[in-house]
Structures are given as structure tokens and as C-alpha cells.
């Protein structure tokens, strides 16, 4: 279920364009690099509601509302997360994934034929409509190359493709299922979905056209359009350009790039081992394809924030598959095509040779967030780097990076090793001092989750084990709960069942706040034992979501504050951080 939800989330996000979406509810006007309008969430006369196209987020400087396209629909349509996904999936014609009903294989054959006929039609347009041809020429893509990729062009016309395919003998209902045409709003008939776009047929390794990507040649929206998933096309299972690689004799290298045009531009320059995912973040299956088609896997994404995030996500996918990718670092703001144009193919190849090992890349990116001349930053950096090292499977690799980290920060090897170990277990003795600290303000749901978890852990060691895998004591906000957790951890080291009365008696002597602790330790959560594990997972999720929510509030406050002084750079950075937090909230809730 969760898997399906993540898949659907990916698909919806891939299709979703926030400017296009919000425009259906709010009159947006372009203002600088953003769009501006009247906030739909509070009453206002002067617009303070902004939408960032590049960040794909919105923010209201009046009421503080903010988030991504999914949050927008949740708030505007008043839907929960899953219903919002369903709402958007329906809107974008993305089939909801747990739907059953396996289609007949005969239909697949018809789809391949329709797609091939459409590809041929689009390709022939290239020679009659000169706009696209000019565009390709300008980008240095000669006929030989665009023939190799079967590129095409869809004109302004609303039904040229439809008429053509019908002449070829295909039925409207079959063509509609391929996603090439859609029903007109007034239900009077069908219209071509790809219009005024450069067309990239997506071809599988068996040479069959399975879908299409379309890119506008002007500034209209959406910039990219892809065929919906069909019985022959599932975006998570293919890579653009793999059909070319499959023909290569050498499988020495494969390079993951951002877009279709990157694949083509590189190919035009003789670099014939690039592929791109189909508008979505790299999936595990695509990771397996990379592994299969290249001995060495390179990632060469744009060096902007979005590109870096995507690269890190791709690294995580590949690491799970035991692939150690390398990352090609291009100068800020340049894609491979720009780089080769400004320099040379040889210079690009040199960049490939100098690419960073994935761990060096992750540490390099992490380091940018900290000022290592400051003690506190140095500690935080070391802790986060240690977390990355812990995820490495090979002890040899771990050792190499412990050394590197120690060298870089001047922190002793042993201290880093200790940090590596602490992430999982609670090894510190319980310390009572925390209970004397002032209690922070805690959200009621968070407070209840923490208290209930303590209660559940007291009655069942299994629950303690589940919790300790996922939360550390610092995740508990209530100092008393934190203290109880340490105490519980300590007790379970030598026992399987806890004697709470004994613990309470021993507490009397040295705990000032023992009343509160006694209440915590003797509370019995009102849950039946049959679903206790599900409840536990739920409570853990509540804590994690609340952590992210409070971080979100904090950043929103900061952005509001900065808006007064107008530090654009800092606001931009915070907006990025905000998007990332929102994404994480979506993924765990
Ligand atoms: Zn507002």
C-alpha cells in the first residue's frame, strides 16, 4: 500500500506543474521569476501569494500558507493526502495503480502499431514544418542524429494526428487509450494531446515505440509532456536512450543525465552512453537497468539545487543495488550540452575522468551546509557524515571514510567510530539531570504519542525494539519521556520483562520529579494487544511528522521575517529547505 502510494506520488509529481495547477484557482501574474496573485486562503486586496515555478512551491506572505502543488490541493479542496493523490491522478489521467483487470495481449500489439504509426507521422512533420528543424539545427543536431532517435514534430493542429491514424485504420477508442488523443471538453470528439512540440519517441530495447515525450519550443506550459502510463509504457521501467545503448558493443560506461535533449546532444558529440529517466526520479528498476547496461555508472545532472537533490536520490537508489556511482561535476548552471559547446568533447571527457566517487560527492554537498571553523558546525557535520558512513555496506569503505573524515575535521578517529555506534543504540546511562530542565511547549498529539510509546514499551520488549530502531532518545521532546526511555533501555539490557514497581521504588530516592515519572511509568495505554505494532508504527510516525511540521513552521517564520529585510538569497535557500521538508512529510504520512 505504502509502495503504491509512493509510486502514485511520483507519478503525480512528475505530471504536476504548480503554475498550471494554481492558475485554475488563482489569477496569477508573472512577477520577476515568480508568479503573484490574491491568496485563496485568506482575504486580501493586494496580492501576497507567490508561486515559484522553478521550486514548484507556493507561499503566502500574508497568512503564511505554503507548500507544493499537493499541499495546495489538500488545502484548497480540503482533502487528505491519499484523496488528493486520487484527485490529481484522475485529473491527469494517471491510472490508479492498485486497479486490476489485466488487458489482453492483443491490445498491446495494437498499441505498438499505433505508436509506430504516430512516430512516423511526427517524424515526417519535421521535414514539412520547418520550426522544429530549425530548432534542432540551432542546437547542432544534424539529420543523422535526429533520424537515429526518430525525433518528430507535432504541429499546432488539433486533429492532424487523429485523422492520420484513423486513415491508417485505427479506432478512436484504441488511439485514446495510448494517450495520444483526449476527449474534447464539450464531448464533441477527440483532440491531439501533443501539439506544437518537439517529439521524442520512447523506444524500448526491442525497438518498439512505447510512448512519447514532447517539449515545447516556446515558453508555453507545460514545458514537457509525456504519454501516460499504458499497458506498454510504464515510466519507472524504462530509460530514454537505452535502445541506443543496447546496440553498443561496449558496456563499459553508462551515464545518467537529466533530460532527453542531454542524451541527444551528447550522442551528437559522439558520447553514446547517456540515458535519462522519463521525467520521474530514478526508480529501483531503472537503477537495475543502469547496473545491467554499464560496468561503471555515472551521474551527470545539472549543478543547481534540484539537480543535486536528484543526484543524491539516484545515489541512494543505486547504493541499495550495490552500485557505486560516480558523479560528474559541471560548472554551476551548465548542462552537458552547454559545457561541450563552451569547451570541447575532450574537456567533457576529462570531467568524466575526474568525476567524484558518490561518497565524496555526498560529503562535499554536506560540507557546503556547514562552517567547519565553528565548533558546533563541525560536530553537526561529523554527526551527519557519520550517518552516511554507517549506511555504507563495506567495512573497508567505512574505514576509508572514517579516515578521511578524521583528517578533514581533526576529530579523532575513535570519536567518529563512537558516533557511528551511537546512532542505533542507547549506550549512555540514564541521567536524571534532564528532568530538571524547563519543559518545552509540546504539541498535544506529539505529547500523547511520546507518553503512549513509553507505556507500550514498558509492557512489551518487542515494542521497545521497534521503537529503538526508529527513534533515538533525542527524538523525544518531553524530557521526562526521554528519561523514561533511557531507563527502559537500561532495564531491557538485562531483563525481558520489567518490574515497574521495583523501578518506582528505586526511583523514590533520587528523583525529584518522581511524581511525574511515576505517573508516566504506571500509565497503561488503552490499546488492544492485537494491533499494538500497527499502533506503535503510527505513534512513531506522529512524532516524525511533528518534528518535520515544527521545522516547517520555524522556516516559514524565518521566511516571513526575512521578507521584511529582503534577503533574497537566504529566502531562496529556505524555500528549498521547505520543499524538501514538505516532500518528507508527504512520504511518511
Ligand atoms: Zn494567505
* pLDDT tens digits, one per residue of 190-222: 999 999 999 999 998 778 899 999 999 888 888
Burial of 472 (0-12, 13-18, 19+ CB in 10 A): middle
**Do 140 and 87 have their domain in common?**
no
Q: Point out the domain boundary residue: 233, 257, 284.
A: 233
Ligand 1 center–CA 91 separation, angstroms: 25
pLDDT at 437: 37
Domain membership of residue 71 as a residue range: 2-91
For the chain, the straight-line distance linking the first and the last C-alpha, in angstroms and rounded, comes to 13
Any domain includes 341: no
Cα Rg, the chain, nearest whole Å: 28
CATH of the domain at 581: 1.10.860.10
The residue out of 67, 91, 115 marking a domain boundary is 91
354 lies in a domain? Answer: no
**Distance in Å, CA 404 to ligand 1 centroid:** 48
Helix, strand, coil % in the chain, rounded to nearest 5: 55, 10, 35
Interval between CA 552 and ligand 1 midpoint (Å): 16
Please tell me whether residues 137 and 14 are part of one structural domain: no
Residue 268 falls inside a structural domain: no
Last residue of a domain, one of 233, 264, 293: 233
The CA 579 to ligand 1 mean position distance, Å, reads 18
Count of structural domains within the chain: 4
241: left (phi over 0), alpha (psi -120 to 50) or beta: left
d(CA 422, CA 472): 9
Whether 492 maps to a domain, the answer reads yes
Q: Which long-range contacts (CB under 8 A, 24 or more apart) does 141-147 make?
A: 141/264, 141/265, 141/268, 142/268, 145/264, 145/267, 145/268, 146/264
CA of 63 to the centre of ligand 1 (A): 4
Look up residue 215 and give its three cell numbers: 517539449
State in Å: Cα 57 to ligand 1 middle. Answer: 14
Q: Rounded to the nearest 5°, which phi and psi values hold at 182?
A: -135, 165
In a domain, 256, yes or no: no
Same domain membership, residue 465 and residue 589? yes
C-alpha cell of residue 473? 532518545
| Structural domain includes residue 271 | no
Residues 81 and 158 in one domain: no
- Helices 395-409 and 375-391: crossing angle in degrees, nearest 10, is 170
Query: What per-residue confidence (pLDDT) applies to 496?
Result: 82
What's residue 146's pLDDT? Answer: 93
Instruction: Give the pLDDT confidence score for residue 313 in this predicted structure.
Output: 92
- Residues of the chain whose pLDDT is less than 50? 1, 99-104, 424-439, 509-510
Residues 459 and 582 in one domain: yes
User: How close is the Cα of 81 to the center of ligand 1, in Å?
Assistant: 21
Q: Does the predicted model carry a pTM greater than 0.75?
A: no
CATH code for position 55: 3.90.580.10
Amino acid at each position: 500500500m505504502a509502495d503504491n502510494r509512493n509510486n502514485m506520488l511520483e507519478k503525480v509529481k512528475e505530471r504536476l506543474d504548480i503554475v498550471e495547477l494554481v492558475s485554475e484557482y488563482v489569477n496569477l501574474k508573472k512577477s520577476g521569476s515568480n508568479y503573484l496573485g490574491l491568496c485563496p486562503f485568506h482575504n486580501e486586496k493586494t496580492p501576497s501569494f507567490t508561486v515559484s515555478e522553478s521550486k514548484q512551491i507556493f507561499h503566502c506572505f500574508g497568512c503564511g500558507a505554503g507548500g507544493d502543488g499537493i499541499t495546495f490541493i489538500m488545502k484548497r479542496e480540503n482533502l487528505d493526502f491519499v484523496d488528493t493523490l486520487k484527485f490529481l491522478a484522475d485529473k491527469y489521467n494517471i491510472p490508479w495503480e492498485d486497479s486490476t483487470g489485466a488487458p489482453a495481449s492483443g491490445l498491446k500489439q495494437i498499441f505498438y502499431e499505433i505508436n509506430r504509426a504516430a512516430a512516423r507521422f511526427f517524424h515526417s512533420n519535421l521535414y514539412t514544418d520547418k520550426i522544429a528543424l530549425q530548432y534542432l539545427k540551432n542546437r547542432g543536431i544534424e539529420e543523422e542524429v535526429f533520424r537515429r532517435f526518430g525525433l518528430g514534430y507535432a504541429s499546432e493542429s488539433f486533429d492532424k494526428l487523429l485523422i492520420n491514424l484513423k486513415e491508417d485504420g485505427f479506432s478512436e477508442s484504441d488511439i485514446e487509450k495510448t494517450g495520444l488523443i483526449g476527449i474534447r471538453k464539450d464531448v464533441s470528439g477527440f483532440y491531439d494531446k501533443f501539439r506544437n512540440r518537439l517529439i521524442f519517441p520512447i523506444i524500448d530495447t526491442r525497438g518498439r515505440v512505447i510512448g512519447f515525450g514532447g517539449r515545447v519550443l516556446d515558453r508555453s506550459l507545460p514545458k514537457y509532456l509525456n504519454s501516460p502510463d499504458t499497458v506498454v509504457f510504464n515510466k519507472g521501467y524504462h530509460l530514454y536512450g537505452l535502445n541506443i545503448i543496447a546496440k553498443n558493443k561496449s558496456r563499459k560506461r553508462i551515464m545518467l543525465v537529466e533530460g532527453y535533449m542531454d542524451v541527444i546532444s551528447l550522442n551528437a558529440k559522439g558520447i553514446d552512453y547517456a540515458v535519462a529517466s522519463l521525467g520521474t526520479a530514478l526508480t529501483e528498476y531503472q537503477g537495475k537497468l543502469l547496473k545491467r547496461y554499464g560496468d561503471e555508472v555515472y551521474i551527470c545532472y545539472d549543478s543547481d539545487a534540484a539537480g543535486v537533490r536528484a543526484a543524491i536520490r539516484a545515489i541512494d537508489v543505486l547504493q541499495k543495488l550495490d552500485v557505486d556511482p560516480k558523479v560528474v561535476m559541471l560548472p554551476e548552471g551548465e548542462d552537458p550540452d552547454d559545457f561541450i559547446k563552451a569547451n570541447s568533447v575532450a574537456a567533457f571527457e576529462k570531467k568524466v575522468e575526474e568525476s567524484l566517487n558518490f561518497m565524496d560527492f555526498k560529503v562535499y554537498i554536506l560540507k557546503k551546509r556547514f562552517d567547519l571553523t565553528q565548533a558546533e558546525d563541525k560536530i553537526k557535520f561529523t554527526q551527519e557524515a557519520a550517518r552516511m558512513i554507517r549506511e555504507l555496506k563495506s567495512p573497508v569503505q567505512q574505514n576509508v571514510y572514517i579516515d578521511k573524515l578524521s583528517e578533514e575535521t581533526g576529530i579523532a578517529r575513535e570519536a567518529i567510530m563512537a558516533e557511528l555506534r551511537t546512532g542505533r543504540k542507547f549506550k549512555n546511562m540514564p541521567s536524571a539531570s534532564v528532568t530538571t530542565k524547563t519543559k518545552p511547549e509540546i504539541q498535544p498529539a506529539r505529547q500523547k504519542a511520546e507518553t503512549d510509546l513509553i507505556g507500550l514499551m514498558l509492557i512489551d520488549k518487542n515494542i521497545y525494539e521497534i521503537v529503538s530502531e526508529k527513534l533515538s532518545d533525542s527524538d523525544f521532546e518531553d524530557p521526562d519521556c526521554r528519561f523514561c526511555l533511557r531507563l527502559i533501555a537500561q532495564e531491557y539490557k538485562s531483563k525481558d520483562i520489567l518490574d515497574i514497581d521495583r523501578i518506582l521504588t528505586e526511583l523514590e530516592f533520587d528523583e525529584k520529579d518522581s511524581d511525574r515519572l511515576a505517573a508516566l511509568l504506571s500509565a497503561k495505554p488503552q490499546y488492544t494487544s492485537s494491533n499494538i505494532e500497527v499502533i506503535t508504527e503510527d505513534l512513531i510516525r506522529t512524532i516524525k511528522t511533528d518534528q518535520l511540521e515544527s521545522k516547517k513552521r520555524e522556516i516559514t517564520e524565518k521566511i516571513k521575517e526575512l521578507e521584511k529585510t529582503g534577503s533574497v538569497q537566504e529566502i531562496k535557500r529556505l524555500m528549498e529547505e521547505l520543499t524538501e521538508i514538505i516532500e518528507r512529510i508527504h512520504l511518511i504520512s
